[in-house]
Amino acid sequence: MNNFRIATLLSVFMSGWPFHVLAAGDAQRGSVIYQSKCATCHSIDYNGMGPAHKGLFGRKAGSQADFDYSAALRAVNFRWDETTLNKWLTNPEKMVPGQKMGFSVASPKERADLIAYLKIATAKHD
């Protein structure tokens, strides 16, 4: 099979693949994004205008202790992982109508970088 056919087959196969979800992000760039875009409302360790992110992965959405979530977010039944965070950061209001977060991250690359950072920075350390 020549290179043109291989490239064509790969192109057809990949055209519908959700690479923005599967793409590996750069945690170092994600740290910069977090500080510039998220830290106004969020912290890794404490609740502020937004809930603390420590222990985020695997946590049920709307369940961080001592944070006043919207009724809409308290009522959902999903846990935070790469897929749910990507969807949330793309458009929180579309994902959970009535939630309080009025911010989104349009760039798939920035979302991947931010999720890579959050995966490291929010891990619980005993």
Reading the chain (126 residues) residue by residue, the pLDDT tens digits are: 444 444 333 443 444 434 444 458 999 999 999 999 999 999 999 999 999 999 999 999 999 989 999 999 999 999 999 999 999 999 999 999 999 999 999 999 999 999 999 999 998 754
Single-letter amino acid, residue 14: M
CA distance 94 to 97: 6
What is the reported pLDDT for 24? Answer: 85
Q: Could you give the 3-state DSSP secondary structure of residue 18?
A: coil
Judge: domain 27-121, CATH 3.20.20.70.
Answer: no
* pTM summary value: 0.79
Q: Length of the chain, please?
A: 126
Helices (H), the chain: 3-14, 19-22, 27-33, 71-74, 82-90, 92-95, 108-121
Cα–Cα distances in Å, from 71 out to 76, 117, 121?
Answer: 9, 28, 27
Cα–Cα distances in Å, from 16 out to 19, 40, 50?
Answer: 9, 36, 34
What is the reported pLDDT for 4? Answer: 40
What is the reported pLDDT for 91? Answer: 98
Please tell me the number of Cα atoms within 13 Å of 120 on its side-chain side. 14
First CA to last CA distance, the chain? 54
What is the reported pLDDT for 35? Answer: 97
